[in-house]
Structure 1
Amino acid sequence: MSTISPHAPASEAGYLNQDAETRTVMAEVPVTLPSTPKKSKQQTPQEAIDEFWSKFTTKAPGKATTVIPHNEYAEKAAKRSTKAVGTNTQISYEEAAAVCKAKVAKIVKECRRVNQKYRDPHFDLEIDLKWGSQDTLESLCNLKENTDPGFRPKSVKRVVDIFDDPKFYIEGPTANDVRQGRDGDCWLLAALCTLSNKPSLIERLCVARDEQVGVYGFVFHRDGEWISEIIDDKLFLTKPDFDESFLERMLWEDRERINSEEQYRKAYQSGSGALYFAQCEHENETWLPLLEKAYAKAHGDYAAIEGGYTGEGIEDLTGGVTSELYATDILDKEYFWKEELMKVNDEFLFGCSTGMWGVGYGERKGIVELHAYSIMKAVDIDGQRLVLLKNPWGKGEWKGAWSDGSKEWTAEWLLKLNHRFGDDGNFWISYDDLLRKYQAFDRTRLFGPEWKVTSLWTTLSVPWTLDYHDTYFTFSLAKTGPVVIVLSQLDDRYYRGLEGQYRFEMNFRLHKNGQEDYVVRSISPYCQNRSVNVELELEEGEYTVLLKIDATRYMDKLPIEEVVRNNARDRRDKLVAVGMSYDLAHSKGKVIETPEEKKARKEAEKRKKDKERQKLKKEIMEGRRKRHYIRVKDHAKRQEKKAKAKAKAQAKKAAKAEKAKAKEASKEETGDAKDQSLESEKEKHVHVVSPAPEDSKKELGSESSTEPNVETPSTESEKPAEASKVSEESKVDETPTPSKDEVKDVKEKPTAEGSESTDHPESSEKAADEKTPADDSKDGKPKPVEEGKEKATEDEDEDSSSDESDISSVSEISDRELDIELEDRANAPSPPPPPPAGAPEEEPDEFESNPWNAVATVGLRVYYKVSDEDKDKEIVKLSVVRPNPYAKDKEKSDKDDDEEEEDKDKEPKSSKGLDIDDSSKDATLVGNNEQRKKSIMSLIPPTN
């Protein structure tokens, strides 16, 4: 043991002390050895790509159809949407209006019974503001970073407390009534301005009201059908109540007033100007703020209606179908003017917007960027094509040609157009300037009572690769006529926050059965993605509608399950309200199994069960054959050992017999009587102790003690017979004799489940049989065998017949045994997870843990005109065709791969997978030169 000298250098002492500390710390803290990084397996580029796609796309796509537990309402709604039945376009509106009127009547009766005004328990602005829950103002947050819409109303009052003389309509609803509030719903207000051009359109929205009780009933169009919404008459205000704002009260009472509170109310909380959101121009008109409130409630809250497109708003308010048109895409501007714009407020309603790409800001000659306008009128007078536009703000106008005060205006033109100058949001613009200044137009087709509609919804998984889907619609048209085909998805604005991570854009292509080329395809809009449509004249016949859906995933949004988890505790009421809208919306696309699909599923389940039975049977029989093989080899070894032992015993007997003969002969020659008597006594003693059995006597030729001269077969003569017997035994199994290691592996391998325990050879029997007299000798020479053991060896030979019967054949397993085994396996508990390995596991793949899982609910609506004699006829029959995985499974089991590839080429849909303007289509043309030429020529339209 060394010590440190007191005169040692400081550096040395420090080093030693440091080393001691290090050793102490290392003793206290467990040592963790650095793990060697796991080597990544070597893959070819193709293998790496295939593995990536297998992890990128989920093998079990799906989407929650309900988020509220035990929701029986969604199940009832799903049953109502399973059949496509043609109905008049007005039927749905009439049903919703009747329901709405009944609701209002019941509420009025109830309120008058208890002498109380109506208070909406599902959309109570006052409780929401006082308690700070913000449920009527804010949507469910589905972003990783919470966003605040910034709504800060200060108080809530009823209509009778806000307006001195409230009137729902004053001279009817007009575009001049509209004033936008603090919500970003200019698109909705522009739609209302557009509706005001056609009489009775806005009046159709509010179907029932009782202003004294304070209850209002509205109807809106949603996902192809009309719904009703009931509200009370409470509205948000911009200023707080006099008693609740100390600062406002102190500022207001800076001088003496007769009644400060009343004057404060009249100044800040009275009339349309006091409202926080939309307001009418007239101080006492109330229809606009109440309609906006009902629309906000239908969508969940005021934040849900921020931002949108005028065309979608017109659809929700009229039940029409909107097409998105672009100024740069108009082929014939003359036709667009005469056949479309000139029919505004008759067959169509029009809106226009700026900033289509969302990059503009500010204004251009008075036209505001990222803003929606409504087209009020189009006129063609004295060679001038002019359009009247309306800014929903009620101010802000065009400053170019034909603007207020421009040089184009004369007194004559003011009379012709009945125009009045003033910054009221109404302005005229020329047709050419309209096409230059506005990029997008929303054209809404209106449907009268002469139109019928047939609709059907479905849910499908959207693959990452953009192509026409395996699921498609088919319909038959019984009569030639004008048709409007609409492919739409669910309006996720109604359940804002639960829309998920994917945004879908749709397209479709119309094919007439029997024709190789398609009839028409939809044009994908740049902005509106809720629906796409085409309007054309169709001949009677059978048609197919192929779907192409493009999904875009936004990872900054949370999936639905996380939004539900985050809001289940803190915002229960909000989650229930929005979740109910979500459930009812998705119930439309619930996939219900058809009888054909049910039959195919049962057949597939039967095939799967039979396959499992065959696999289990093969597994069990394989185990039995292996064990039988081992038993046969063990039996052959035992027989060989028995034969050797028997040969040795017989040889020893023969030697003893020769020896006895020699002794007897010598005794006779010498005449020694004493020795002869002793030998005789010895022989008697041996025969008495070990009498030979009957079978043994037969084999030895009836050997007895009194006949010493009996001849016994020699060892050499015995060997060939025994060898032939062993060779015959080994022929039971033609498999070559395994090595010792192979036999050991087979013995140690666990037997197949369900095998019988009697099939196992006893280990003790093996041990007893394998031990032979020859094995007991150390030097390789056989030990002398005692007479008792010799006889035991002969006795063992008697059981050879029974031993042979045990290995005669492999028993076939019965069907009942297979059923029991399958049941036991199904009920068996799952094995415990393996213990963690010492080395760290490889990090999971990001796409494997969160794969592509886009699921869309889409619907097809077919509008068609009918005459009076065809009103009761079913002109359109609509159905959805889904791929049947069970049928494909059957085809795979019945056909080989080559036949399956040939059938794929014969399928009608596979040849339509690409558009005509897709260069890849050229490579899909199959057949000889004549067939390819025929396919190419079929794409050329016929000449008249």
Structure 2
Amino acid sequence: MSDASSTPPSESGRLSQDAGDRTVMAVVPGTTQIPKKNNKQTPQEAIDQFWNKFTTKAPGKATTVIPHNEYAEKAAKRSAKAVGTNTQTSYEEAAALCRAKVAKIVKECRRVNQKYRDPHFDLEIDLKWGSRDTLESLCNTKEKPDSSFKPKSVKRVVDIFDDPKFYIEGPTANDVRQGRDGDCWLLAALCTLSNKPSLIEKVCVARDEQVGVYGFVFHRDGEWISEIIDDKLFLTKPDFDESFLERILWEDRERINSEEQYRKAYQSGSGALYFAQCEHENETWLPLLEKAYAKAHGDYASIDGGFTGEGIEDLTGGVTSELYTTDILDKEYFWKEELMKVNAEFLFGCSTGMWGSYWGDRKGIYELHAYSIMKAVDIDGQRLVLLKNPWGRGEWTGPWSDGSKEWTAEWLVKLNHRFGDDGNFWISYDDLLRKYQAFDRTRLFGPEWKVTSLWTTLSVPWTLDYHDTYFAFSLAKTGPVVIVLSQLDERYYLGLEGQYRFELNFRLHKTGQEDYVVRSISSIRLNRSVNVELELEEGEYTVLLKIDATRNMYKLPIEDVVRNHARDRRDKLVAVGMSYDLAHSKGKVVESPEEKKARKEAEQRKKDKEREELRKELMETRRRDHYYRVKDHKKDQKRKAKAKAKAQAKAKKAKKLKAKEAKKQEQASSKEQSSESGDKHVQVLSPSPTPAPEDSKEDLGSESKTDSKVETPSTEAEKPSADLPLTAEEQSAKTLEASQDFKPDEISTSESKTEHATEGLPDSKIAPSSAVKDAGGETISSDSTKQPEVNTRNEPEETQSKETEDEEDSSSDESDVSSLSEISERELDFILKQRASDPPAPPPAPIESLEEEDEFEKDPWNAVATVGLRIYYKVSDEDRDKDIVKLRVVRPNPYAKDKKAEDEDEDEKEKEKEPKTSKSLDIDDSSKDATLEGSEEQRKKSIMSLSPQA
């Protein structure tokens, strides 16, 4: 970038004088060419320059998409404090609100005798008008991908099903059939939930089939939310009046009431639905629940692809861990303590092909597909697991598959199994571990569990390390604890997630101990959260965060997505943007009283510093001006003294001449008298007449006048002025003279600095001495410009000498040179106030660069994540109303004042009070070896945390 100093004066502006007036013309912006890079820079300089451009200097993230979103502000206030609540409390509140919403809608619809039409998720209008807001998410790529969803019509439940029933013999895994959406993970989660009574019923809260309104609740970002939908569903075939190919094929022969028969064949029963469907022709709970889940996330496309564990979390409020088959340490423990507790403490899902490679099916098991673990049994030495394919078809063909040799009549009775391609199949525990690569284990929380949560937002650096911001909590009672570090679920605002993907890790430390208690295990697939379960002692703890950010340059930044859709998809952008704003309101950083106090102190220190700098700047200007005034005054005094001496010498000479002439006249007069007395008849003739005294005075006066003109050392044009701009040579000369003659404390010879410092200040405040301004606004000191008066009148020299002496006496008074005064507070207030009220500077002139703009400087690294910590803990009946966990966020204070040397002792005391945690590298990072100090024995102790690390 260029600054004012690099712009030539001839280009930045022009100065003109007209009739003695000095005016500044309009500034003409100039252009500056940046030279090419210095090819001779060292490699280290090149690397430093690169990293300097790589990361943004102003990190941040859009927290609100919708302008003036007051709802997000209210949500931010509600989630600012960490309060421990029972795990069921949030669900009960959301369920109560959902029932109230449904009741109000039913009352409104009955009053106007109309079925409920959801204005925020209307499938019919969306399909007829072609907006596709319920089908497609916001596009955040440069090229819009083609959507694979192509439903043909929309009808209500009562028009699709002959005898619709929400449940027929309750919700079961056998009801589930996947439609044309890639949400097998969600349907697998529903299959898993169907094993535990009442779990699905807890999601489907309220409904009125006659009015056509249904209410559901889902778990999102640590709390339950409610969602209301109508009973419209997408169908695979178009209506009879709007069909073309189907109608041609259907009317290939004469039919009685072709339209009704067409409806029964193509648009009736579960088989006619485009998305999820129940096995029974008249059961409706599954497609309606899927629709509500899609609406909660914005559209059907947003739930295309996922993981079973995330779906179970959203439907139960549990916490899911990702387990890999190759990482299981004790397979016996995994069987007895985990798989055998399925449907009790845990729910399980499994999958294969986790690395993204697709090889079809392995003996009936499909890769990149989710399955539900329905049951685990240990009978007669056989460890068997019952799995469910959410497709409702496709089964394992190995041992214990339908029709295999392992089955006998006794085993069919023992396991209550029947053959058939219904998606249910048994597999041995050993084959389960061989054929499936990953397990999603979800812990369920009962009413004996409480949870405390808190969110924050932080900037993620490119370098992977533990962050300066961390969580701290106190545990008042020893017991089982589940610690969960999560980020916002981007699926709810798909399209506005930005370019960065975050992977979470954390490390738990106890106060006063160098070694960490436990670390989280990074998930490969489930990046939404990481967690650990352990028995924790009471005490103070800190949770250090390590967040890995990766950037996808193929995705567009949030601001570009908003710009691209603000016109053509306003309704969609409003809906998704509201979800984005409410989610990010959780992590809004609320300033604490200590931070507010530190900020005000920092702002005051900044103001004081600016004030002190301005004071020094003005004082430098005054010292310089005062120095030049004193110097000019001394030179003026010397000139006047010299002129006075010459005038006195001439007056003395004229006096002597006058006395000599008078003596001559006296002698001549005496001679005449003596001649007259001696010889009265003798006539004496003089050779030439003696000039009269008046003539002598006139001649002397003219001579004095001429001499005065010659001897006067300077004129107005020759005399330098302290307030006019000086050339570089004059500045150097004056500086040299200052070092020899008069040495003030600090002298600044920068005219630009002087003009900047005194801009807007009255003359009396800038120069305390008697000073005036010329027509151009330049300050001219009356003392420094006073010239000796030249005799232009034909007056006697004595009179002029007397007047000159009087003027010189008056001008030689030292009080005419003003003394150096300090800057008053009022003057500083005036200048600062005027600077604040000055209009902003014009935009900089365009820069013509000889090189292309650096790509990292143009689009630098700017990763910002919103993360939350949830702590689940068991409580007894007597501890239900106690705050067992107190959670807070500790972040570096950017306004903290640098400690001075005298505060070092106090700092050491404060450090002792703080939790003693290590932000060093992990123990299994080989780079940590370089951070250890001492002998080999001391370093070993440091690794084992037997001694504090230096």
Q: Give the TM-score taking structure 2 as reference length.
A: 0.84
Q: Which of 893, 896, 901 pairs up with 1:884?
A: 893
Change (3 A) 1:841 1:615: farther
Deviations 1:202-261 (A, max 9, x none): 111111111111111111101111111111110000000001113322221110111111
AA aligned opposite 1:163: F
Instruction: After TM superposition, give the deviation of residue 588 of structure 1 in Å.
Output: 0.9
What's the counterpart of residue 797 of structure 1?
808
What does residue 779 of structure 1 align with? none
Distance 1:895 1:38 in 2: 48
Deviation (angstroms), 1:60: 1.7
User: 1:905-939 deviations in whole A, cap 9, x for unaligned?
Assistant: 99866733321112232333357999756534426
Tell me, yes or no, if the aligned pair for 1:664 and 1:676 is still in contact at 8 Å: no
Task: Report the counterpart of residue 821 of structure 1 in structure 2.
Answer: 831
Which of 750, 758, 772 is the equivalent residue of 1:753? 758
How many percent of aligned residue pairs carry the same amino acid? 78
Superposition deviation, residue 578 in structure 1: 0.9
Partner of 1:169: 167
Match of 1:852 in 2: 861
d(CA) in 1 for partners of 2:87, 2:425: 35
In structure 2, what is the equivalent of residue 736 of structure 1? 740
Q: CA deviation at 1:836?
A: 4.7
Equivalence for 2:243:
245
Between 930-939 and 216-225, the greater mean CA deviation after superposition: 930-939
Cα distance, 1:499–1:36 mapped onto 2, change above 3 Å? closer
2:37 aligns with one of 17, 23, 40 = 40
CA drift of 1:55 comes to 2.0
Give the corresponding residue for 1:863.
Answer: 872
1:112 Cα deviation from its structure 2 partner: 1.0
Flag the 1:554–1:790 CA change in 2: closer, same or farther, 3 A. Answer: farther
Q: Which amino acid aligns with 1:918?
A: D
Q: Residue 36 of structure 1: CA displacement? A: 9.4
* CA–CA distance in structure 2, aligned partners of residues 476 and 105 of structure 1: 43
Cα distance change on mapping 1:896 and 1:746 into 2, 3 Å: farther
Q: Structure 1: which 5+ runs fail to align?
A: 1-34, 692-729, 777-783
**2: CA distance, partners of 1:167 / 1:623:** 91
Residue number among 680, 684, 692 corresponding to 2:693 in the alignment: 680
Structure 1 residue 920 and structure 2 residue 927: aligned?
yes
Paired residues of 2:395 and 2:423 also in contact (CA < 8 A) = yes
- Going from structure 1 to structure 2, the CA distance change for 1:557 and 1:379 (only over 3 Å counts) comes to same
Aligned with 1:511: secondary structure?
strand
Which structure 2 segments of 5+ residues have no match? 1-31, 673-685, 705-733, 773-778
Offset at residue 681 of structure 1 (A):
3.8
Deviations 1:298-348 (A, max 9, x none): 000000000000000000000000000000111111111110011011100
Map of 1:583 onto structure 2: 581
- What corresponds to 1:706 in structure 2? none
Q: After TM superposition, give the deviation of residue 51 of structure 1 in Å.
A: 2.8
Judged with a 3 Å threshold, the aligned counterparts in structure 2 of structure 1 residues 321 and 771 are, in CA distance, closer, same or farther, namely same
**Secondary structure in structure 1 of the residue aligned to 2:368:** coil
- Corresponding position of 2:386: 388
SS of the residue corresponding to residue 126 of structure 2 reads: helix
**Equivalent residues of 2:233, 2:273 under 8 A apart:** yes
- Relative to structure 1, the CA distance from residue 399 to residue 785 in structure 2 (aligned partners, 3 Å threshold; closer, same or farther) is farther
Mark the CA change 1:738 to 1:809 in structure 2 (over 3 Å): closer, same or farther: closer
Task: Please list the CA deviations of residues 507-544 of structure 1 after superposition, one character each: whole Å capped at 9, or x if unmatched.
Answer: 01101101110000100000010000000000111110
Could you say what secondary structure the match of 1:153 adopts? coil
Among 873, 892, 896, which residue is 2:882 paired with?
873
Structure 1 distance, partners of 2:824, 2:780, is 28
| Cα pair distance change 1:637/1:503, threshold 3 Å | same
Distance 1:228 1:745, change over 3 A: closer
Task: Tell me how far 1:736 sits from its aligned partner.
Answer: 3.1
Q: Is the CA contact (8 Å cut-off) linking 2:204 and 2:217 kept in structure 1? A: yes
Separation in 2, partners of 1:283, 1:91: 37
Q: Hey, what's the Cα distance between the residues in 2 that align with 1:211 and 1:747? A: 85
Match of residue 830, structure 1, among 830, 840, 861: 840
Task: Spell out the pairing of 1:466-865 with structure 2 (5 A cutoff).
Answer: 466-669=464-667, 671=669, 678-682=691-695, 735-736=739-740, 750-751=754-755, 752-753=757-758, 756-758=762-764, 759=767, 763=780, 769=786, 793-802=804-813, 804-836=814-846, 840=849, 842-865=851-874
Which stretch has the larger CA shift, 64-73 or 593-602?
A: 64-73
Taking only aligned residues, the RMSD between alpha carbons, in angstroms, comes to 3.4
Please state whether the residue corresponding to 1:519 is helix, strand or coil: strand
Partner amino acid, structure 2, of 1:736: Q
SS of the aligned residue for 2:199 comes to coil
SS at match of 1:90: helix
Look up the equivalent residue of 1:439 and give its one-letter code. Q
Residue equivalent to 1:259: 257
What's the secondary structure of 1:588's corresponding residue?
coil
| Number of the residue aligned with 2:328 | 330
Which of 931, 935, 938 aligns to 2:945? It is 938
Q: Which amino acid aligns with 1:798?
A: D
Alignment match of 1:151 (pick from 149, 152, 177)? 149
Alpha carbons of structure 1 residues 767 and 339: separation in structure 2 relative to 1, 3 Å: closer
Cα 1:822–1:377 change in 2 (3 A) is: same
Measure, in 2, the Cα distance between the counterparts of 1:829 and 1:400.
81
Q: Which residue of 2 aligns with 1:95?
A: 93
* Cα pair 2:633 2:784 within 8 Å, conserved: no
Q: Describe the superposition over 1:167-191 as per-residue Cα deviations: whole angstroms up to 9, x where unpaired.
A: 1111111111111000000000010
The whole-number CA distance in structure 1 between the counterparts of 2:390 and 2:875 is: 37
Offset of 1:81 from its aligned partner?
0.5
Change (3 A) 1:806 1:518: farther
Question: Do the aligned partners of 1:690 and 1:787 also contact (CA within 8 Å) in 2?
Answer: no
Alpha carbons of structure 1 residues 807 and 220: separation in structure 2 relative to 1, 3 Å: same
Cα gap change, 1:750 to 1:815, in 2 (>3 Å): closer
Distance change (3 Å), C-alpha of 1:892 and 1:852: farther
What is the letter of the counterpart of residue 36 of structure 2? K
Superposed counterparts of 1:19-34, under 5 Å: none
AA matched with 1:812:
E
Deviations 1:129-161 (A, max 9, x none): 000000000001111111122110000001111
Paired residues of 2:323 and 2:439 also in contact (CA < 8 A): yes
Q: In the alignment, which residue of structure 2 is the partner of 1:202?
A: 200
Asked whether 1:377 is paired with 2:390, we answer no
C-alpha distance in structure 2 between counterparts of 1:936 and 1:225, whole Å: 40
| Contact map agreement 1:160 1:166 (CA 8 A) in 2 | yes
Distance 2:937 2:832 in 1: 57
Q: What amino acid is the match of 1:856?
A: A
